[in-house]
């Protein structure tokens, strides 16, 4: 069963959570404790985006030109996962908002299109950004192509080599894609001189993209997650979903989403948070992350006045797919180091709950979903699916008729390598140092089943 809206029903405003937060977010402070000034940011970001970043307005108008591009795939359907419910024999009603049908295959174009538009309006001719596996890069390439902007994308070198398909997608939309570290920037050249075989990192790619923007006229930088204005653009998801629930006269009791930088989940739950604050409805929020990168469930939250949100990446060494390193987890989008401060604050206040799963149980859930609902989820939203299945089973045990909503933020068509590893039994819960260890233990077990390991 799916709930569809007409094109006229594409929301006309985004929802900004800042005025409704339980306490105001302190202004961003740099490493040394100095507040970051607007003027600092104007060097790399479009003015309107900075205005949105710091805006107190609750509702921000969506330009008609942006809505027009949204119409290429929006409004996205809201599905009721009847076959999954039946499979789980749960009295719970499971709904999912389906963002996979965007041209880039995920929720990312919601903000890419908006960012490209505002930059175009301000006379910018070229946008730069970084990308790891290519999700954000392809969304921005698409966004730029909609408004005739050039796009330069610095792609972490290992991904550039190992995941050519996303790169080709970006090039099809007209973007220039460089493996980072590259010869294009002074910073990149400096690294290559010292370490010619450097496989790159997100940090290096970010630095290159920013340097490119700073050193060239009419060129700006963009970011695909974490910042308030990015999350703001994503609220179109939740606003549509809320409208769709009205259509079927239901309302979610629990909203679940995966978190990397936090933009997809925020886009889904913010409008319902608005209801919770202003209409006193009862709705719970659950954020799900990988055990391999448990920024919120295990990270230290120190966002307070005079301090900054600093979630130490616990497993930095796992972020690159080097030969000798244990295989990185496959949900690349959730390995992001950053985290939206609004989300951190809401977790700290107990308004959003967080939970972590390892990738093996997550892929088990994804495979159940694929077999019942048909759609192949990306590894990132599969984390949310795992949590939903657990909750639905709980409902079966307690006889609860809960209404559960989650975000299927992207399809897994570019993640076949991950699914292949899963099907071949090569995926490991990340804790294991290497699959070979597992293999040798398995062999020992076969030989001597009575030995306890």
Partner 1 sequence: MDRILKFLNCYGIDAIEDFERWSRGVKIGFVVNPIAGMGGRVGLKGTDGKYDLALKLGAKPVSNERAFEFLRNLRLNVEIYTCSGEMGERVARMAGYDPNVIYKTNDMTTSEDTKLAVERMRNLDLIVFVGGDGTARDVCEVVGDETPVIGVPSGVKMYSGVFGLNPRACAEVVRFFVRGLTHLELREVVDVDESSLSDDRIVLKIFGYLNVPVVSNFVQGVKRRYGGNLENLMRNFLNIFDRDGVYIFGPGGTVSHIVRSLGFEKTVTGVDVYVKGEFVKDVSERELLSIVDRYDAWIVITPIGGQGFIFGRGNLQISPDVLRRVERSRIIVVSTVDKLRDIDFLRVDTGDEELDRDLEGEIEVLTDVGLLRFFVKA
The β-bridge relationship of strands 93-98 and 126-131 is: unpaired
What number of chain residues touch partner 1 (CB under 8 A)?
Answer: 64
Residues paired with 258 in a beta bridge: 288
Q: Is 306 an interacting residue with respect to partner 1 (CB under 8 A)? A: no
Tokens of 294: 């448990």
Alpha carbon distances (Å) from 58 to 64, 88, 234: 19, 40, 14
Alpha carbon distance 250, 134 (integer Å) = 36
Query: Considering only 73-81, 196-204, 400-408, 418-426, which stretch makes contact with partner 1 by CB under 8 A?
Result: 196-204
Report, in Å, the least distance between residue 433 CB and partner 1: 4
64 or 431: whose CB is closer to partner 1?
431
Handedness of CA 150, 155, 160, 164 (dihedral sign): negative
Under the criterion CB under 8 A, does residue 146 sit at the interface with partner 1? Answer: no
Q: Determine which residue in the list 106, 138, 219, 295 makes contact with partner 1, applying CB under 8 A.
A: 295
Backbone CA torsion sign across 380, 381, 383, 386? negative
Which run of H or of E encompasses 355? strand 352-357
In the complex, least distance from residue 203 CB atom to partner 1, rounded to whole angstroms: 3
Contacts of partner 1 in 21-60 (CB under 8 A): 28-32, 36, 40-41, 43-44
| Residue closer to partner 1 (CB basis): 201 or 264 | 201
- Interface with partner 1, residue 137, by CB under 8 A: no
**Helix, strand, coil shares, percent, the chain, to 5:** 45, 15, 40
Match 């990308």 to its residue by tokens: 131
- 91/203 with CB nearer partner 1: 203
Site for partner 1 in 75-104 (CB under 8 A): none
- Window contacting partner 1 (CB under 8 A); options: 13-21, 99-107, 189-197, 398-406: 189-197
Total Cβ atoms within 10 A of residue 387? 24
Q: What is the contact mask toward partner 1 in residues 418 to 447, using x (rule: CB under 8 A)?
A: ---------------xx-xx--x--xx--x
- Closer to partner 1 at the Cβ: 100 or 207? 207
CB-wise, 123 or 447, nearer to partner 1? 447
CA distance 57 to 55: 6
> Between residue 206 and residue 235, which ones bind partner 1 under the rule CB under 8 A?
206-207, 210-211, 214, 221, 223, 226-227
Q: Is-cis flag, bond preceding 181, omega within 30?
A: yes
Give the C-alpha separation, 55 to 49, whole Å: 10
Distance between CA 43 and CA 217 in Å, rounded?
10
Strand partners, 179: 155
Q: How far apart are CA 370 and CA 253, in angstroms?
A: 24
As measured in angstroms, the least distance from the Cβ of 43 to partner 1 is 7
Q: Which residue number, 200 or 271, has a Cβ lying nearer to partner 1?
A: 200
124 binds partner 1 (CB under 8 A): no
> What are the CA-CA distances from residue 284 to residues 23, 106, 127, 151, 163 (Å)?
19, 24, 38, 39, 37
From residue 376 to residue 415, the character string flagging contacts with partner 1 as x (rule: CB under 8 A) and all else as - is ----------------------------------------
* Contact residues for partner 1, defined by CB under 8 A: 28-32, 36, 40-41, 43-44, 187, 190-191, 193-199, 201-204, 206-207, 210-211, 214, 221, 223, 226-227, 295, 308-311, 313, 316-317, 319-320, 322, 324-326, 336-341, 433-434, 436-437, 440, 443-444, 447-448, 451, 453
């Amino acid at each position: 069963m799916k709930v569809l809206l007409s094109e006229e029903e594409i929301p006309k405003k985004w929802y900004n959570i800042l005025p409704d937060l339980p306490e105001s977010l302190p202004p961003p402070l740099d490493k040394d404790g100095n507040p970051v000034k607007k003027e600092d940011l104007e060097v790399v970001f479009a003015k309107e985006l900075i205005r949105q970043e710091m805006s107190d307005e609750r509702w921000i108008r969506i330009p008609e030109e942006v809505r027009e591009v949204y119409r290429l795939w929006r409004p996205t359907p809201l599905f009721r996962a009847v076959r999954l419910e039946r499979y789980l024999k749960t009295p719970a009603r499971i709904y999912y908002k389906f963002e996979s049908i965007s041209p880039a295959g995920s929720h990312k174009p919601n903000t890419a299109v908006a960012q490209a538009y505002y930059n175009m309006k301000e006379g910018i001719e070229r946008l730069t950004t970084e990308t790891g596996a290519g999700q954000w890069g392809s969304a921005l390439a698409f966004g730029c192509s909609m408004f005739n902007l050039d796009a330069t994308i610095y792609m972490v070198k290992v991904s550039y080599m190992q995941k050519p398909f996303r790169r080709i997608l970006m090039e099809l939309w007209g973007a220039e894609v460089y493996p980072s570290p590259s010869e294009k920037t002074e910073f990149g050249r400096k690294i290559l001189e010292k370490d010619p075989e450097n496989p790159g990192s997100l940090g290096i790619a970010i630095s290159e993209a920013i340097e490119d923007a700073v050193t060239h006229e009419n060129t700006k930088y963009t970011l695909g997650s974490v910042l308030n204005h990015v999350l703001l653009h994503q609220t179109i998801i939740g606003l549509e979903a809320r409208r769709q629930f009205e259509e079927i006269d239901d309302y979610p009791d629990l909203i679940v989403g995966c978190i990397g930088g936090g933009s997809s989940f925020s886009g889904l739950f913010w409008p319902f948070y608005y209801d919770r604050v202003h209409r006193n409805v009862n709705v719970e929020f659950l954020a799900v992350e990988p055990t391999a990168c448990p920024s919120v469930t295990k990270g230290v939250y120190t966002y307070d006045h005079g301090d900054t949100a600093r979630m130490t990446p616990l497993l930095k060494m796992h972020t690159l797919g080097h030969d000798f390193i244990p295989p990185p987890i496959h949900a690349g989008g959730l390995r992001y180091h950053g985290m939206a401060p609004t989300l951190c604050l809401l977790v700290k206040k107990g308004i959003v709950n967080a939970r972590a799963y390892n990738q093996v149980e997550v892929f088990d859930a994804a495979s159940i979903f694929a077999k019942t609902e048909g759609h192949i989820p990306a590894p990132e939203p599969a984390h949310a699916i795992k949590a939903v299945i657990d909750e639905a089973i709980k409902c079966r045990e307690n006889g609860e008729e809960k209404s559960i909503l989650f975000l299927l933020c992207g399809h897994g068509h570019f993640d076949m390598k991950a699914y292949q590893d899963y099907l071949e039994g090569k995926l490991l819960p990340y804790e294991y140092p290497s699959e070979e260890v597992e293999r040798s233990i398995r062999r020992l077990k076969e030989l001597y089943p009575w030995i306890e390991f």
